[in-house]
Chains A and B, each alone.
Chain A
Amino acid sequence: MSSTHGTTKTAGAVVGPSAPERSGPTGDSPQVRAVRRRVQELLPAKTVITDHARLRTYECDGLAHYRVTPALAVLADSVDDVATTVRICAEERVPFVARGSGTGLSGGALPRADGVLIVMSRMRAIREVSAEDQRAVVEPGVINLDVTKAAAAHGYYYAPDPSSQQICSIGGNVAENSGGAHCLKYGFTSNHVTGAEFVAPDGSVVELGGRALDAPGYDLLGTVIGSEGTLGIATAVTVRLTRTPEHVVTVLAGFPSTDDAGAATSAIIGAGIVPAAIEMMDALAIEAAEAAVHCNYPEGAGAVLVVELDGPEVEVRQEFDQVERLCRDNGAFAFRVANDDVERALIWRGRKSAFAAVGRISPDYIVQDGVIPRTSLPKVLRAIAELSASSAVRVANVFHAGDGNLHPLVLFDDSEEGQGEAAEEISGKILDLCIEAGGSITGEHGVGMDKSAYMPRMFSDADLDTMQMVRCAFDPNNISNPGKIFPTPRLCGEVPGRHKGEHPLAKSGIAEIF
C-alpha cells in the first residue's frame, strides 16, 4: 500500500510553478548559507538542524507524495527563536515554512529546498486555562485534543475537532482553519480563536485580537486564520472554550441507498434541527470499514448516517424522536442509539477509521476533499457514480453530509499501468463537479501545494489578485510559505505613499484643482 494519502503524483491537474525542487546538502545559495551561519550564531546548537539525514525527517507532511528536504530546520522553543529566524530570513530574502505536527493533507507544510523549516512542535505549553473567562492560552505545538483534556475538569472543551485531533496541533489548525465533524453546529477554528501572538514575515512580533472580542482595527486575526502559513507564524493562541453539552445522543441509521440517506439529511435540516454532526458513508466505504475494524454496521446498507445531537437534555430527546421518525420516513431499515461514551465510540469507530480502512480493499487511494451545497448531494453523488462506472475506477464516499463536505476515496492499484493516472483524473473531475454545483475545492484540507492549480477554476484572476494584496501587505517579499495556495505569485511592487502626484485631470489639462 502506498502512503495513506495521495499518490506518487499530484492529485491536482498540474503541479504549480513552485514545484518541489531537488535538494541536497550541496549547492546552497549564498543567502541560504548566510541564514545558516547567522541562525547558528544566535540560537542554541540543539535548536538548529543542518544534518541532511535528520532534515529528511521533515521532507513531507500528511500528503506524502510531495517530498522536499529543507535547507535548514529550526526547532523553535520560543517566540524569540521564531522571530530571530524569520528576521534573518527576511534580511537574506530566504523563504521559510512553518510546520506543526505535519498532519496536513494538502502539502501546506511542504518545505523549500532553498529555505528554512521552522518546526513549532516543541512549543507545547498550555499557558493558561481560564474557565471563568472561557479562554485557554496555548502554544502552537499543543495537540488539539490536549486543550479539551485540560478544560474538561472545568466543564469545558475546545470545539473544533478535526479527525486528526489526537496528533494535530493548534498552530496547524490556525493555519488551516480546521473544522471537524462537529463544525456543522459549532463552526471552525476562526470562530474559536480570539487572539494570537504572531510573528510577521519581517520578524516583528505583534498581537492580533485578544482575550476579549471585537478588538479595534482590521480583523487581521480572522484573515490570518486559514491563510495556510502564508502570512506569518502564530506563536501563542488564545482559544475560546465551550461548555460541555449536558446531553449527547449518537445514532446510526442504515438506508438502502445514499439517495435515501441524503433525503433523510435534508429532512432533518428542514425540520429546524441543527445536529452536532451528520456523517454519511456509502456501501464501499462501509465495506472497507467492516474489513478494517468490524464496526458491525447494518448488513446490506447502501448507506449509513451517523447523527449526533447535543445540548440540553429535554431538547436532545425531542430532536432524537424527530430524527428517528425522519430517518424511518425516508427508508431507514436499521436504527441504533448510543447513549454513553462506549456505545458512541463503537458507532464512530467505523466512520473515523474510514480513510485508513480503504487500504483493506485497495492498495492505493486518493483522499479528495470538496464541498457542495447540501441540497446538491443526490445529484453530485449520481455524477460521481457515473464517473466511476465509465472509468472503472472505484470511488468510496465518506462525508460530512450536514455541511456538504465530500471525502470521496478514489481507489486504484499503482502497480497496474495507467491506474494512477486514471484515479487522478477522476479525483480532479470530482472537484469540477463541486465547482459546478456552486461549492468549493476544499472544505478542510486546504489548498496548500496540492490544489493551487484549481484555484483559478473557483476564483477569477481579480479575486486571486485581491487576496494576494493581503499577502503583499504582510509579506511583500513572498518568503512566508511561498508557492502555496496561489498558482501565480503577485508582484507586490512599491506601496505608494500618502503623497500623490499631479492630479490626472490637471495633468491632462482638463481641469485645475484649485
Chain B
Amino acid sequence: MSVETVAGPALASACDDVREAVDGDSVDGVPPGHVARPASTDETAGLLRTAAELDLAVVARGAGTKLTWGTPPERVDLVLDLSRMDAVLDHAAGDLVAVAQAGCPIDRLQETLAAAGQRLAIDGTLPGTTLGGGIATNSSGPRRMLNGTFRDLMIGTTVVRADGVIAKSGGRVVKNVAGYDLGKLMTGSFGTLGVVTEAVFRLHPLPTASQVLAVDVRDATTAAALVAAVVHSDVVPTAVEVDWPAGVVAVLLEGTEQGVDSRTAATRTLLTGAGASTVDIAEQLPPWWGHHPEGVLLKLTCSLSAVGGLLQEAARQGVAVRGSAGAGVLYGGLPADAEVAAAVTVLRAFCLAAGGSLVVLAAPADVRSTVDVWGPVPALELMRAVKGQFDPHRRLSPGRFVGGI
C-alpha cells in the first residue's frame, strides 16, 4: 500500500472535505495528491498532524492568485484550501479592531467594515485575494505609503504549525508588547513556517472624501521632482503612484471633504511648481491604479531619492513600472520573450546600490530558470535556522522561499 493510498482515508478522518487533486490544483506546475478544505483552525490542525505523520508536503491556498509567485515547491502532497474559512469573526467597531479567518477575501472584509464606516487600510491588489494570501506574500498596494502593510496592521495571529500545534501571538489590542510578534514572522513567509488561520487587524475610519491628482510627464527627472514635491510636504498623501513609461504621476488624497479640497489645491500648487504643465483632478482612481504591470512580474524597492533613477533605468531595460513612488516599492513588468535575465541583472544592481532589492515575483518556468529569483538575502543563515525550528522536516511549501527554504 502506498502513501498515496493511505493519505486519502487518513486525511478524510481529519476533515470531511477531502478530494483527490485535479489538474487545476497544481501549484506552479507541481501536482498535489489531495485537496482538503478545512472548516476550522482545529480541522486545519488535524490535517497538519496527519500530514506530519505521513510526511506529506503541504501548500496552503486562499484564492490561488499568487501561487506562481516566488519559486515552485519541490513537492506537494496536500493543498490546504482555506476557502471555507472565510468568515469575519468579529468587528469591534468601537475598538477599531476586526477578527477574520484567513480564507476571507479582502474585499468581503472591507464590505463588512464599511457598513460601520471603517476599513482595513490595505489594498487587495489582485481580484479575490484573501487575507491569508495577502499575509503570506505581504502584498500591498498604493495606500501602503500612509498606512503600511499587513506587517503593520495585523495585531494578532493564530497559526497552525507544521506539527499541527495551534499557537497564537499578539492579541486584540493594538498596544501590546507581551511576547514575540510571530505575526511579523509569518507575514511574507510564503507559507513556509506555518498556516495562518485567523488574524486580528487594526482598522481605520473610512475617509468621507477623496481626490486623485494626475500629471502627464515625459521625463523621469521631472517625475521624480513631482514625487518629491508632494512627499516632502504637509499634504499627507495616502498614496503617490507612478505609471512608467506611460508617464503618469498620481497622488491620492483622502479625508474630510473640506480637508481634501484644501489639500487638493495645495497639492496642485506643489505639482505645478515642480514642473507639471497640467494637473487632472478626479474623484475616480485611474484604471491602472493598483494593478501590476503585464508580463514577467518584478518587485523593485529602493530608497526614495532613487525612484527617478530607477524609472530611467527600467525604461532603458524595456521594463514597465508601476507602484508606490512615495514608499519606494514598485512593480515591474516585461515580456517573457525579452532579455529578462539581462534586465534583472542591471536593475537588481541599481536597486541594491539604492538600499533596496529586486525579486522576480512571477515568471514562466523557462524564464525563471535563467534568473536568480530572490537575489542576495542577508541573514539567510538565521532564516534557515528559523525554518529549521518551525518546520524541520520541510513539509510546508518546501522550496517556495528564499535560499531554497
Cα(A455)–Cα(B256), bound, Å: 42
Query: What residue of chain B has the Cβ atom nearest to residue A466's Cβ?
Result: B167
Cα(A198)–Cα(B174), bound, Å: 27
Question: Which of B55, B328, B359 lies in contact with A504, CB distance below 8 A?
Answer: B55
Is A217 touching B148 in the complex (CB atoms < 8 A)? no
Is B94 touching A311 in the complex (CB atoms < 8 A)? no
Q: Chain A's nearest CB lies how many Å from the CB of B139?
A: 10
Q: Which residues of chain A come closer than 8 Å to B91, judged between CB atoms?
A: none
Given A439-B171, A503-B55, A511-B3, A214 contacting B301 (CB threshold 8 A)? yes
Question: Which of B179, B182, B263, B357 lies in contact with A216, CB distance below 8 A?
Answer: B357
Is B188 touching A219 in the complex (CB atoms < 8 A)? yes
Is B392 touching A495 in the complex (CB atoms < 8 A)? yes
Is B169 touching A440 in the complex (CB atoms < 8 A)? no
Q: Which of B100-158 contact A (CB under 8 A)?
A: 117, 138, 140, 148-149, 151-152
Is A504 touching B53 in the complex (CB atoms < 8 A)? yes
Query: What residue of chain B has the Cβ atom nearest to residue A135's Cβ?
Result: B303
Cα(A441)–Cα(B177), bound, Å: 8
Is B172 touching A438 in the complex (CB atoms < 8 A)? yes
Q: Determine if A29 is an interface residue (Cβ-Cβ < 8 Å).
A: no
Q: Which residues of chain A come closer than 8 Å to B233, judged between CB atoms?
A: 243
Q: Determine if B95 is an interface residue (Cβ-Cβ < 8 Å).
A: yes
Is A511 touching B2 in the complex (CB atoms < 8 A)? yes
Q: Which of A208-259 contact B (CB under 8 A)?
A: 208, 210-220, 222-223, 225-227, 243, 245-246
Is A187 touching B301 in the complex (CB atoms < 8 A)? no
Contact with A along B336-379 (1 / 0, CB 8 A): 00000000000000010011110100000000000000110111
Is B383 touching A217 in the complex (CB atoms < 8 A)? yes
Q: Which residues of chain B come closer than 8 Å to A383, judged between CB atoms?
A: none
Given A318-B258, A512-B2, A212 contacting B179 (CB threshold 8 A)? no
Q: Which of B387-405 contact A (CB under 8 A)?
A: 388-390, 392-394, 401-403
Cα(A453)–Cα(B193), bound, Å: 28
Cα(A273)–Cα(B208), bound, Å: 12
Given A216-B374, A312-B259, A447-B178, A211 contacting B303 (CB threshold 8 A)? yes
Is B328 touching A470 in the complex (CB atoms < 8 A)? no
Contact-residue size bin, chain A (C-beta under 8 Å from the other chain): 35 or more
Is A440 touching B175 in the complex (CB atoms < 8 A)? yes
Cα(A467)–Cα(B5), bound, Å: 36
Q: Chain A's nearest CB lies how many Å from the CB of B308?
A: 11
Question: Which of B181, B204, B374 lies in contact with A222, CB distance below 8 A?
Answer: B181
Contact with B along A441-452 (1 / 0, CB 8 A): 111111100010
Q: Which residues of chain A come closer than 8 Å to B389, judged between CB atoms?
A: 469-470, 472-473, 492, 495
Question: Which of B94, B380, B390 lies in contact with A217, CB distance below 8 A?
Answer: B380
Question: Which of A246, A272, A373 lies in contact with B173, CB distance below 8 A?
Answer: A373
Is B402 touching A270 in the complex (CB atoms < 8 A)? no
Cα(A400)–Cα(B174), bound, Å: 12
Is A223 touching B383 in the complex (CB atoms < 8 A)? no
Q: Chain A's nearest CB lies how many Å from the CB of B203?
A: 10
Is A443 touching B234 in the complex (CB atoms < 8 A)? no
Is A460 touching B168 in the complex (CB atoms < 8 A)? yes
Q: Which of B282-305 contact A (CB under 8 A)?
A: 299, 301-305
Q: Determine if B83 is an interface residue (Cβ-Cβ < 8 Å).
A: no
Q: Which residues of chain A come closer than 8 Å to B255, judged between CB atoms?
A: 312, 315
Q: Determine if B66 is an interface residue (Cβ-Cβ < 8 Å).
A: no
Given A208-B379, A312-B234, A439-B173, A498 contacting B394 (CB threshold 8 A)? yes
Query: What residue of chain B has the Cβ atom nearest to residue A440's Cβ?
Result: B176
Query: What residue of chain B has the Cβ atom nearest to residue A189's Cβ?
Result: B177
Q: Which residues of chain B come closer than 8 Å to A469, judged between CB atoms?
A: 386, 389-390
Is A190 touching B184 in the complex (CB atoms < 8 A)? yes
Cα(A200)–Cα(B171), bound, Å: 28
Is A459 touching B168 in the complex (CB atoms < 8 A)? yes
Q: Determine if A133 is an interface residue (Cβ-Cβ < 8 Å).
A: yes
Cα(A130)–Cα(B167), bound, Å: 40
Cα(A442)–Cα(B6), bound, Å: 48
Given A132-B304, A373-B173, A446-B177, A220 contacting B382 (CB threshold 8 A)? yes
Q: Which residues of chain B come closer than 8 Å to A132, judged between CB atoms?
A: 228, 232, 304-305
Question: Which of B151, B179, B205, B354 lies in contact with A455, CB distance below 8 A?
Answer: B179
Given A187-B148, A191-B148, A446-B177, A216 contacting B394 (CB threshold 8 A)? no
Q: Determine if A405 is an interface residue (Cβ-Cβ < 8 Å).
A: yes
Q: Which residues of chain B come closer than 8 Å to A418, judged between CB atoms?
A: none
Question: Which of B93, B166, B169, B188 lies in contact with A218, CB distance below 8 A?
Answer: B188
Query: What residue of chain B has the Cβ atom nearest to residue A244's Cβ?
Result: B234
Contact with A along B212-253 (1 / 0, CB 8 A): 000000000000000010011111100000000000000000
Is A272 touching B167 in the complex (CB atoms < 8 A)? no
Given A207-B379, A472-B389, A444 contacting B232 (CB threshold 8 A)? no
Is B177 touching A176 in the complex (CB atoms < 8 A)? yes
Interface core residue of A208, A213, A226, A458 (most chain B CB under 10 Å): A213
Q: Which residues of chain B come closer than 8 Å to A471, judged between CB atoms?
A: 180
Q: Determine if B30 is an interface residue (Cβ-Cβ < 8 Å).
A: no
Q: Which residues of chain A come closer than 8 Å to B299, judged between CB atoms?
A: 214
Q: Determine if B315 is an interface residue (Cβ-Cβ < 8 Å).
A: no
Q: Determine if A513 is an interface residue (Cβ-Cβ < 8 Å).
A: yes
Q: Which residues of chain B come closer than 8 Å to A447, judged between CB atoms?
A: 177-179
Q: Which residues of chain B come closer than 8 Å to A474, judged between CB atoms?
A: 382, 385-386
Q: Determine if A485 is an interface residue (Cβ-Cβ < 8 Å).
A: yes
Question: Which of B1, B138, B232, B393 lies in contact with A243, CB distance below 8 A?
Answer: B232
Q: Chain A's nearest CB lies how many Å from the CB of B404?
A: 10
Is A212 touching B175 in the complex (CB atoms < 8 A)? no
Q: Determine if B12 is an interface residue (Cβ-Cβ < 8 Å).
A: no
Is A212 touching B6 in the complex (CB atoms < 8 A)? no
Which B residues form the contact surface with A (CB < 8 A)? Answer: 1-3, 5-6, 53-55, 92-97, 117, 138, 140, 148-149, 151-152, 159, 161, 165-169, 171-182, 184-185, 187-189, 193, 204-206, 208, 228, 231-236, 255-256, 258-259, 262-263, 299, 301-305, 327-329, 351, 354-357, 359, 374-375, 377-383, 385-386, 388-390, 392-394, 401-403
For the complex of A and B, the 9 pairs showing the least CB-CB separation, nearest first, are A211-B355, A222-B184, A212-B356, A272-B205, A315-B259, A466-B167, A246-B234, A496-B392, A473-B385
Having A207-B378, A223-B185, A403-B173, one finds 10 other A-B pairs with CB under 8 Å, namely: A187-B148, A217-B378, A223-B181, A226-B180, A314-B262, A439-B171, A465-B167, A470-B389, A473-B388, A505-B3
30 pairs of residues in contact across A and B, judged by CB atoms under 8 Å: A130-B303, A133-B305, A135-B303, A206-B379, A208-B379, A212-B302, A216-B402, A217-B377, A218-B193, A272-B117, A273-B205, A311-B236, A312-B235, A312-B263, A372-B173, A373-B95, A373-B97, A373-B173, A443-B175, A451-B178, A463-B168, A465-B165, A465-B167, A467-B167, A467-B169, A470-B180, A485-B179, A503-B55, A510-B6, A512-B1
